[in-house]
Amino acid sequence: MSALEVRDVVVDYEARGGGRVRAVAGACLTVEPGQIVGLVGESGCGKSSLARAAVGLVAPTAGSVFFEGAPVSPLTRRARPRELIRLQLVFQNPYSSLNPRRKVGSQLGDALDALDLVPRRGRSARVRELIELVGLPATAADGYPHEFSGGQRQRIAIARSLAANPSVIVLDEPLASLDASAQAQLANLLVDLSRDLDLGLLLISHDLAIVRHIADAVSVMYLGLMVETGPTLPLWQVPLHPYSEALIGSVPHPDGTGFLPEALPGEVPDPANPPSGCRFHPRCPYVFDRCRTDDPPLVPLQDGRTAACWLQPQGAPVALPGDRVKGVNLPR
């Protein structure tokens, strides 16, 4: 049983001026215990909406999310059901995700109060333990959030989610607002926590290099849909979807070789008005007729990989989309 399973989730938002915008258009995703899954894509592709729907902060318009086999119900006025508290979310911005007027220790105690797993007397000791677990001195419990740097705050936010004794944490761009050194510290911390606590992590990030470095599996999202999923390294070496290929090719290399990354032409289309057929076709270098009319489904390929591209028929062996254009007779 997967720790977290997102099944055909659709998330709509009310747009300004009446209409509805489909931020997530039927996305699927699974996170196993102890696994780090990276979710990558350009801004506006629906990553954050999916994260919010996955933990129940927004109600999906269609589809469902399962946490440890049970459906995730959207948050209501009542307290969140106990069994769901073990599914947590860490926000991007540690300046707005911590209450500026409460001491760190008190905020870490929220989940302990709600779950009642630790006797009242042991709670402050547990809070200190959690703070030390994320590499901060235990005295941090007595401070207010503004007394800490961005990296330290993000550690505190992670410690707070660990207080819920979670089995899955969804992290929405947790490293984006941090300096390089703080980023590396936090990335290593996430890997350690995942291994030591058998934690499933869904790491949403636009920093592909970090995702490649710490994620076990990757899902690539484009305009509300998954276009490719698979184990990280194989996906990096041979991306099957043209979009994944473009994303990976646009990452600069910090090595002084003067490698100039490839730019992806065009813009992310307006999600309120997605292109017909394959949503990527206006920007795709390999586009052919069928792409303009038919939307390719996400199909399983060999080696545990999936892709949603007409160039990659179900069960096909692994090959770059460019090689397929040359080698395979296209079903025109």
Residue 27 C-beta: closest distance to other proteins, Å: 19
Subset of residues 176 to 235 that bind other proteins, contact rule: CB under 8 A: 179-185, 187-188, 191, 206, 208-210, 212-214, 232-233
- CA separation (Å) from 90 to 77, 81, 231? 21, 19, 24
Rounded Cα gap, residues 6 and 316, in angstroms: 25
Number of residues that bind other proteins (CB under 8 A): 90
Nearer to other proteins, 64 or 93 (CB): 93
CB 257 within 8 A of CB 240: no
Q: Which of 16, 18, 255, 327 binds other proteins (CB under 8 A)?
A: 255
- Contact letters (x/-) for other proteins, 19-58, by CB under 8 A? -----------------------xx-----------x-x-
Strands 36-40 and 200-204, bridge-based pairing: parallel
Nearer to other proteins, 209 or 328 (CB): 209
Residue 161 C-beta: closest distance to other proteins, Å: 8
SS3 breakdown of the chain: % helix, strand, coil, rounded to 5?
35, 20, 45
Rounded Cα gap, residues 159 and 190, in angstroms: 11
Residue 192 C-beta: closest distance to other proteins, Å: 9
- Contact letters (x/-) for other proteins, 235-254, by CB under 8 A? -x---------xxxxxxxxx
Residue 249 C-beta: closest distance to other proteins, Å: 8
Rounded Cα gap, residues 138 and 132, in angstroms: 6
Nearer to other proteins, 30 or 232 (CB): 232
Q: Which of 2, 73, 93, 124 binds other proteins (CB under 8 A)?
A: 93
SS3 293: helix
Q: Which of 1, 17, 260, 329 binds other proteins (CB under 8 A)?
A: 260
Subset of residues 110 to 169 that bind other proteins, contact rule: CB under 8 A: 110-111, 113-115, 135-137, 139-140, 143-144, 146-149, 151-152, 155, 157, 160-161, 163-164
CB 150 within 8 A of CB 95: yes
SS3 238: coil
Among left, alpha and beta (phi > 0; psi -120 to 50; other), residue 251 is beta
Rounded Cα gap, residues 153 and 149, in angstroms: 6
Residue 265 C-beta: closest distance to other proteins, Å: 8
